[in-house]
Amino acid sequence: MDDDGDAAPDHDPDSDADVDADASDATSDETDSNPSLSVDELVDYCHTQAGLLSGRVDTMATEADALLDEIDERTAEIRSRLEDLPDDVEATERPPSTTAPASGESDVDLEAIEALQDELEEKQLLAEAKHTRMQAFQELAADYTELAADLATDVESGRDAIRRVVEFEADNDAPAYFEEQDRTTLLEMAAEADDTDGDASTDDGTE
């Protein structure tokens, strides 16, 4: 929907490609005793993911603000139109005025107001959904940052770090958060590597 691949302020975008390439190699050789990704590189990967998610939140916040402005405009328009309508109750208690709008005109005004109210309700639902989505992105960004800290302090081997990241992304359905950014997660790379290994085993007649 939007181009929102802004990473953290001090992050070098060129390093993203290096991390992706290294991660692909690491996941395809996950059973190797010397994985190609170090713990530090996986810590950097987690910080990059968090930065991308935060950038997406900033974009959604801008969209939400614009949506709220539209809601305010529609609310003001509905209020103005309601104030311009004749008082239906009073109109039934006194003779028709030569200056009052015809019944057909009132019907048209009411239909227009109802249409505006329907549009307003749709925008309000959209705004609520966007705020819920923003919160989910914020929480995942925070979780990535926390994972990075855990890897830096509690994990010594690249293989264990890869396993922790892959399990984390599977538990949090991380790939779904990066679809719009065309960003491949470590989890997806590991799954692709497993599929490739399985195909190779089948071709060799092994199980």
Give the tens place of pLDDT for each residue, 83-98.
877 665 333 333 444 4
- Would residue 7 count as lying in a domain? no
Report which of 128, 176, 165 is spatially closest to residue 143, judged by C-alpha positions: 165
- Would residue 4 count as lying in a domain? no
Average pLDDT rounded to a whole number, residues 110-116: 83
**Count of domains for the chain:** 1
Residue holding tokens 């960004």? 141
Q: Where are the beta strands (DSSP E) in 39-193?
A: none
- Would residue 3 count as lying in a domain? no
- Would residue 102 count as lying in a domain? yes
How far apart CA 126 and CA 123 sit, in angstroms, is 5
- Would residue 5 count as lying in a domain? no
- Would residue 1 count as lying in a domain? no
39 exposure class (CB count in 10 Å sphere: 0-12, 13-18, 19+): buried
Q: Model pTM greater than 0.95?
A: no
83 lies in which domain range?
Answer: 14-204
How far apart CA 137 and CA 120 sit, in angstroms, is 26
- Would residue 9 count as lying in a domain? no
Contact 113, 126 (CB under 8 A): no
- Would residue 195 count as lying in a domain? yes
